[in-house]
Amino acid sequence: MAIVVTVTSGKGGVGKTTSSAAIAAGLAQAGHRTVVIDFDVGLRNLDLVMGVERRVVFDFVSVISGEASLNQALIQDKRLERLSILAASQTKDKDALTEDGVGQVIEQLSDMGFEYIVCDSPAGIERGATMALYFADHAVIVTNPEVSSVRDSDRILGILQSKSKHAEEGGRVNEHLLITRYDPVRVDQGEMLSKEDVCDILAVKLIGVIPESKAVLKASNTGFPVILDAESDAGMAYSDAVARFLGEDRPLRFVTPKKQGLLSRILGGGD
Amino acid sequence: MMPAPQIRLTRYSVMTLEWPKDSEPLEHWLRGQREIAPSLMQEIAIILRPSVDHKSEDIRHAVDTLGRLGVGLIGLTGDSCHRATATTLGLAWLSSNTSSVESDVGPSQIPADSAREAALVIEGPVRSGVQIYAKDRDLVVIGQVSEGAEIMADGHVHVYGRLRGRVAAGVGGQTGAEIFCVMFEPELVSIGGTYCGDEQIPSNLWSARVRVRLDTNAQTLTFTSMG
Ligand SMILES: Nc1ncnc2c1ncn2[C@@H]1O[C@H](COP(=O)(O)OP(=O)(O)O)[C@@H](O)[C@H]1O
Ligand SMILES: [Mg+2]
């Protein structure tokens, strides 16, 4: 059976889609057959971040409604042979995501030999989000280092451990904390919560801290997962996070302010 | 054999809403209470005690308000001049005598061991938005209680972890209920219906190992360190 990894947060705009794309690409890079599904019916973002928006003909909802087969809807990534994408539809209504429908798609993907199914959850706690987490074996909780985001993450963790299939059957979903858009300078100045604060409030195992980085915007504008930008800080941080998810022990990077050289201090800027 | 209906003498815990004349308008006060403790008012049977000076019309109005706010009003008590009003409004009448006797022996006692179920034991974290209510028994939480979570019991509440949410012991009016916590940082504390917010907690006991009891004479909560 494939392992279902849901990327969720409660709050919008914290980096779920960026992280879903990075994690899925990272798992594929590590040799695992992976599919990433966009649950954000109506918004449809993942295909842009993955750079496949022109190749979307059928989507997740058309598979559930029986309009298309899974084979027709799956988009094979051109850079990573083990990675496929199942896009969300821009138009169809959110009620199209039924528990049976989603369950069947996950089962078929398993039968096709996928090892990991990464679910990119929409914001909020409504249908799309609860469907994305219902079948989760693992949940990656994406949190920004600020109070409202942490609070929403806490709430989604409560839903995860009460409304998911595992919870209903008396089990638990494995929780992993991923802190994104972390700016060590602002943390030092007390404008953002530190990673210690966030871990302390949520009491979930930390799998990564992704720095606030210009590489992320550049990557999504050009349509490739930032993890493939192996030179960038965010790319390296995501690689570390995926390695830790797979059980490797790696020290955290990019969590303290960079030491500025004399020259860049004089000239200003210098990131 | 067919089971026969039976009438038994049973003692229930109910809350009495004391409503003095010229108090803050009930609706306003209740909305305020609900804000600080959204679930405390739910599933709780309440008896309204108006003052002697309230007119029948005032009471009718108050009963409407309580109904609209979803408070489970079961009857009136107080001066016997309101008895007729209770009947017209289709509410039970509880004579003051019985209710004062009851409150001395009944609700203030936590039932003896034989009558009680084992404690409800919950493995935390109890997350924001989650509510836990241990009915007719104690509650033990192992792990943290997040801000925005609510834990309640008719009996005692024990928290072996950081308590940042709302906590209520003796929810059914058991004034002898207590709260024990190893890391005390709550948003709101209540015992037997007496509340207080975090600003009333002595600052030296913040984050400490704390025991909370209700001082029934002063109707205030007392906080002590467990060392
Ligand atoms: N580490 C980061 N550094 C800088 N910008 C980021 C980072 N992570 C996400 N962003 C930006 O934040 C915005 C929201 O990200 P997205 O992944 O779409 O969030 P969500 O799916 O949670 O709504 C996007 O514009 C994205 O480029
Ligand atoms: Mg998104």
pTM of the model: 0.77
- A225: preceding bond cis by omega (within 30 degrees): no
- Where in chain B are all domains bearing CATH 2.160.20.70? 118-225
Task: With CB atoms and an 8 Å threshold, state whether A203 touches B144.
Answer: yes
How many A from CA of A43 to the centre of ligand 2? 8
The pLDDT value recorded for residue B116 is 59
Ligand nearest to the CA of A43: 2
CATH superfamily of B14-93: ACT domain (3.30.70.260)
pLDDT over 80 at A157, yes or no: yes
Q: Ligand 1: residues within 6 Å at CB?
A: A 9, 12-18, 45, 123, 180-181, 210, 212-213, 216-217, 220, 234
| SS3 call for A36 | strand
The pLDDT value recorded for residue B71 is 81
| Nearest ligand 1 atom to alpha carbon A181 | 1
Task: With CB atoms and an 8 Å threshold, state whether A151 touches B147.
Answer: yes
- B127 part of contact set with chain A, CB < 8 Å: yes
Read off the tokens for A36: 């990433």
Q: What whole-number distance in Å separates Cα of residue A216 and Cα of residue A204?
A: 25
Q: What whole-number distance in Å separates Cα of residue A12 and Cα of residue A14?
A: 6
The pLDDT value recorded for residue B18 is 84
Q: What whole-number distance in Å separates Cα of residue A203 and Cα of residue A186?
A: 23
* Residue A10, Ramachandran bin (φ over 0: left; ψ between -120 and 50: alpha; else beta): left
Cβ neighbour number for residue A261 with a 10 Å cutoff: 10
Q: Are the beta carbons of B25 and B58 closer than 8 angstroms?
A: no
The pLDDT value recorded for residue A7 is 98
Helix axes A147-163, A127-134, angle to 10 degrees: 60
The pLDDT value recorded for residue B164 is 96
Least confident of A112-126, A241-255, B40-54: B40-54
Q: What is the pLDDT of residues A54-97, one digit of tens each?
A: 999 999 999 999 999 999 999 999 999 999 999 998 876 778 89
Q: Are the beta carbons of A206 and A179 closer than 8 angstroms?
A: yes
The pLDDT value recorded for residue B38 is 63
DSSP label of A169? T
Spell out, as residue ranges, where chain B has pLDDT lower than 70. 1, 6-14, 36-44, 96-116
A226 alpha carbon, distance to own chain's centre = 12
The fold of the B118-225 domain, in CATH, is Pectate Lyase C-like (2.160.20)
Q: What is the pLDDT of residues B130-148, one digit of tens each?
A: 999 999 999 999 999 999 9
Mean pLDDT of chain A: 93
Residue among A164, A146, A128, A139 nearest A20 (CA):
A139
Q: What whole-number distance in Å separates Cα of residue B220 and Cα of residue B202?
A: 13
Cβ neighbour number for residue A8 with a 10 Å cutoff: 31
> Which residues sit with Cβ closer than 5 angstroms to ligand 2, an ion?
A 16-17, 45
The pLDDT value recorded for residue A150 is 96
Residue among A85, A6, A93 nearest A46 (CA):
A85
Ligand nearest to the CA of A88: 2
The mean pLDDT value for A228-237 works out to: 97
- Where in chain B are all domains bearing CATH 3.30.70.260? 14-93
| SS3 call for A137 | coil
Q: What whole-number distance in Å separates Cα of residue B64 and Cα of residue B91?
A: 12
Shortest Cα–Cα distance, A157 to chain B (Å): 7
| SS3 call for B177 | coil
pLDDT confidence tier of residue A33, bands split at 50, 70 and 90: very high
**B197 Cβ neighbours under 8 A, 6+ residues apart:** B36, B187, B188, B189
How many percent of chain A have pLDDT more than 90? 87
Q: What whole-number distance in Å separates Cα of residue A217 and Cα of residue B81?
A: 74
Question: Beta strands of chain B (E only): which ranges?
Answer: 15-19, 45-50, 72-78, 92-95, 120-123, 131-134, 139-142, 150-153, 157-163, 166-169, 179-184, 188-191, 194-197, 210-215, 220-225
